[in-house]
Amino acid sequence: MTRPSWVLLLYALASGCSFALSGPDPKAPVSQEPKCDTDKTSVLGDSLLATTAGVTTLAVATDNAAAAIAPAVLGAVFLAAAIHGNAAVNECRAAKEAYIAQLHAPPPPDRDEREERAQVVRSPAATAPVARAAEPPVPAPAAPPPEPPAWSAFWKEVR
């Protein structure tokens, strides 16, 4: 392995992996706050590692194409991890926003209020057809504006 590949491998082992990021649990009750990851630091690290692996692949491929396979595969793994981690964090953030919106929503009406609303809807006055208002008449077209006097009349007045 070349020196850039070793540096990349050591950095990869020291960094966080976005495959470990978790999204919201679909089986969790809606009344509880989602427990998932909202930080994209690992995603950024994996993106940088994927970029570094891509540059290393290009640099190594100029000398030896066979040796460029290792950093290319490593870069693909980091790219896949970054994509997965980004999707998980975005889903988690959306779930937390939905939970917060649910907290700020007004409570559902009581059963008595729902029954009163149902009775109001069932009343004949509420279901009777509503007469449409007559449309206003279309105004007659206005007369065209008068034509300005001819230029010859202008010159007669100027003399």
Summarize the confidence of residues 29-55 as an average pLDDT: 91
Q: What local confidence, expressed as pLDDT, does residue 104 receive?
A: 84
Percent of the chain topping pLDDT 70: 66
pTM: 0.58
Whole-angstrom Cα distance, residue 78 to residue 126? 62
| Residues comprising the chain, all counted | 159
Look at residues 77, 95, 89 and name the one whose alpha carbon lies nearest to residue 9.
Answer: 77
Note whether 24 and 91 are within 8 A (CB): yes
Q: What is the CA radius of gyration of the chain?
A: 36
